[in-house]
Amino acid sequence: MTCLEPNADCDDMLKIVVMNDLHLVSPGSPSPNMDTTERFDLALQHAVQRHSDADLCVFAGDIADKGDAGAYAVFDRLRCQYEVPQCVTLGNHDDRTVYTSAATNFEMDPNGYIQCRRDIKGHCILVLDSSEPGRARGGFSKQKRDWIHAQLSDAKDLDLPVIVILHHNPSALQMPVDAYRLDEPDVLKAALLESGANIMQIVSGHCHISSAGSWSGIPCATIAGNHHSVEPFLRRRTGQQECYASSAEYGVVVSNGADCAVHFETYIGAQQAMDHALFPKKKDQTFEPMI
C-alpha cells in the first residue's frame, strides 16, 4: 500500500524518474523476447502510484527496438498516463529522423539533436543525445559538445549542481558490455571536467544492468531498464552470461542540492514483502528533516 501525502518539508527536494531501454515495437510486430509494451505500461502505472510528485520524467533512449514509427506512436500513447513534465532522448536502437517525424512532445537543441536542459529546484538537468546514426556506441559530435559547453558554463555561472542523463553509459563496468559503452568517453569527460561546473551525478542506461560507481570522480549510476537485464559478468568469468526477463526497473534520482541518491524501483519481479508484524518500527516512520 503506497501513500503520498502533501508535505511542505519536501517541496525543495528534486525528484527525477528515469525510464530507459523501453525497446518498444509496433503493434503486431514480433516482440524482442518479451512484451516490452506491457512492461512499459506497468512501469508507468507504478510511477503514477509511487512518484506522482516527480519534477521530471526522463525517457533515456532505446525508446524503440528497431527505430520504427509505430513504436514511437506506442510510446507517445502510453506515456500520456504519467502526468509529470517529461523529456526524451535517444539511444542506439532509435532513429532520430524517424523519431522527429513520427513523435510528438519532444525538444531539440538548435542543431536538431534530441537533448535539452531543465533548471529545477536549484539544479541544472542536462538530458544529452548520445545517439549517432549507424554507431552502436553513439558519441558526441562537436555540434553537440558546443551546446553542452554552453549549458555547463551557464550552470557554473548560476552555481547550479548538474545532473547529466544520457543513454550510453560512459564509464567502464569491467564487463564485456564495455565494448559497447559510449564511444570516445574522454571527449565527454573533458567537456564535463573542464567546465568547472559541479557535476553531481550521471545516470545512464544502455548496459541493461543496475550499477553505481564513479568516473574520474564523477558519480555514475546505470539503470537496468524495461528490457531484459544481465548478470554481473566480471573479468575472469567465462562461458555464458545470464540474461533475465524476470525483472525490470526504472531509476529515481532525489537531491537536495548537496546530497544526491539514485534509487532502483523494481516494477517487475518485486521482492516478496515480509510480515509487517516482524518490523513494527517500519510503521509510520519519520524522515530526517530536509537540509
Residues binding Fe ion: what is the number (CB under 5 A)?
Answer: 5
d(CA 250, CA 235): 27
Question: How remote is the C-alpha of 138 from its chain's centroid?
Answer: 16
Annotate each residue in 91-130 with x if it binds Fe ion (CB under 5 A) or - if it does not, as one string.
xx--------------------------------------
If binding is defined by CB under 5 A, does position 161 make contact with Fe ion?
Answer: no
Smallest gap from residue 65 Cβ to Fe ion (A):
8
Residue 93 CB, nearest approach to Fe ion (Å):
6
Strand arrangement, sheet containing 248-255 = 86-89, 56-60, 14-19, 248-255, 260-268
Q: Which is nearer to Fe ion, 89 or 255 (CB)?
A: 89
Nearer to Fe ion by Cβ, of 73 and 230: the residue is 230
Q: Assign residue 151 a region: left if phi > 0, alpha if psi is -120 to 50, beta otherwise?
A: alpha
Write the binding mask 33 to 72 for Fe ion: x where contact by CB under 5 A, - elsewhere.
Answer: -----------------------------x----------
Which span (46-54, 148-156, 205-213, 263-271) binds Fe ion, by CB under 5 A? 205-213
Nearer to Fe ion, 21 or 68 (CB): 21
Residues 131, 169: contact at Cβ < 8 Å?
no
Q: What DSSP assignment string belongs to 49-70?
A: HH-TT-SEEEEES--BSS--HH
Least distance in angstroms from the C-beta of 264 to Fe ion:
16
If one asks whether residue 210 binds Fe ion (CB under 5 A), the answer comes out as no
> Please, which of residues 74-93 interact with Fe ion by CB under 5 A?
91-92
User: In this structure, how many other beta carbons lie within 10 angstroms of the beta carbon of residue 8?
Assistant: 7
Distance CA 151, CA 117 (A): 8
Tell me: does residue 21 bind Fe ion (CB under 5 A).
yes
Residue whose C-alpha cell reads 504519467 in the numeric block: 82
- Closest contact distance (angstroms) between CB of 131 and Fe ion is 9
Query: Is residue 206 within the footprint of Fe ion (CB under 5 A)?
Result: yes
The distance of closest approach from Cβ of residue 103 to Fe ion in the complex, given in angstroms and rounded to an integer, is: 18
Q: Is 201 in the site for Fe ion (CB under 5 A)?
A: no
Binding segment toward Fe ion, per CB under 5 A, in 124-132, 157-165, 201-209, 264-272: 201-209
Contact (CB, 8 A) for 91 and 21: yes
Cβ partners under 8 Å of residue 49, min gap 6: 2
Task: Label residues 242-253 b or e (16+ Cβ within 10 Å = b).
Answer: eeeeeebbbbbb
Where do we find the cell 562537436?
142
Binding site for Fe ion (CB under 5 A): 21, 62, 91-92, 206
